[in-house]
Amino acid sequence: MEETLQERIFNVGLIAGIPAASEDRTLNAIKALRVGEIHAVIFPWNKQLLPMLGKIRITFPKVLIGVQGPWAQVSDALELGADFVASDLPEGEKDARCFKREGNALLTSDQKEIAQCNNKLVFAADLHKGAWDIITQRAHAAIEEMLGFNLRHVGINHANEKEATQTADFFEKTFGFTKEDKGGAYFAATYIEAMKKPFHGMHGHIAIATNNAARAAWYLQQRGTALNWKTADYTDGILRVIYLQDEVAGFAVHIVQK
């Protein structure tokens, strides 16, 4: 099923603000942001922007383009290549491409935050100096901060409960990681999950926590990482866990919502 505009913006999660600049510098800035995994940009409305939108759209067909400003001005941008605008609609009008911006938050008409706008990835001085590598570095760092990947635990497969409890006992005795029975496994603190029977992975699994599992899954797929959607687990309709398709050194890998 094709993503709606709102779903695309949510999945992207981070929108880079770009100051007014020449067409050449603007295109170079977007190129640098794309290398840094930025998938959406937003511009303040300005007269020199409108003629550029068509060229930006052709050059970066997969980048979401937004324009911020009064509706009377930004509405034209939607006809010239922009995907969305941040503005206040006139009373009585509706347009699914129009969102509200409050501070850095991009909001739907019902005040639900779907993305953050970041005006600190590209500065006017960067554009004048051609500091494209610096822009890419900031973009990379911002994406990694948003996704917030870190190691949650390592799961170790065992043939039976006896072997699993021996492993958990070892980590408790040796490192002081408190053993706790969680039903299908013994945990040693939150670091080691000793499975009571074989589970995902030849040897076990590695759990990587993330700030937003649904968004992280989208980014992993953009990076070319295949996911095993048959393993997806949801809570109240929100993705909580999903495994990657391939194992690493005999370990399955899954992401998990923090």
Say yes or no: 158 and 241 in one domain.
yes
Looking at the structure, do residues 99 and 180 belong to the same domain, yes or no?
no
pLDDT in tens, 110-154: 999 999 999 999 999 999 999 999 999 999 999 999 999 999 999
Residue range 83-107, pLDDT digits in tens? 999 999 888 888 999 999 999 999 9
Q: Note the pLDDT tens digit of each residue in 231-249.
A: 999 999 999 999 999 999 9
| Domain CATH code at residue 175 | 3.10.180.10
Q: Which residues pair with 106 in a beta bridge?
A: 101, 115
Residue where a domain stops, chosen among 147, 162, 183: 147
CATH of the domain at 20: 3.20.20.70
Whether residues 87 and 182 share a domain: the answer is no
Query: Is residue 135 located within the same domain as residue 156?
Result: no
Residues 161 and 188 reside in one and the same domain: yes
Query: 140 with 248, same domain?
Result: no
Same domain membership, residue 82 and residue 101: yes
Please provide residue 136's backbone torsions phi and psi, each rounded to the nearest 5 degrees.
Answer: -60, -45
Taken in order 143, 147, 153, 157, the sign of the CA dihedral is negative
Whole-number average pLDDT of the chain: 96
Residues 120 and 156 occupy one common structural domain = no
- Output the CA torsion sign for 194, 200, 204, 210: negative
* Predicted local distance difference test score (pLDDT) of residue 134: 98
Q: Which helix (H) or strand (E) holds 152?
A: strand 150-156
- Number of structural domains in the chain: 2
* Domain span including residue 158: 150-257
CB-CB contact of 138 with 38 (8 Å): no
The percent helix, strand, coil of the chain (3-state, each to 5) is 35, 30, 35
Distance (Å, rounded) from C-alpha 210 to C-alpha 239? 11
pLDDT in tens, 44-77: 999 899 999 999 999 999 999 999 999 999 999 9
Do both 131 and 181 map to the same domain? Answer: no
Question: Pairing relation of β-strands 113-118 and 105-107?
Answer: antiparallel
Which of 128, 147, 166 delimits the end of a domain?
147
pTM over 0.85, yes/no: yes
Compute how many other C-beta atoms are within 10 angstroms of the C-beta atom of residue 126.
22
- 200-242 pLDDT, tens per residue? 999 999 999 999 999 999 999 999 999 999 999 999 999 999 9
Residues 181 and 79 in one domain: no
Length of the chain: 258
Q: Specify whether the CB–CB gap between 32 and 132 falls below 8 A.
A: yes
Task: Examine the fold and report which residue of 112, 147, 182 is the final residue of a domain before the chain moves on.
Answer: 147
Question: Residue 253: pLDDT above 90?
Answer: yes
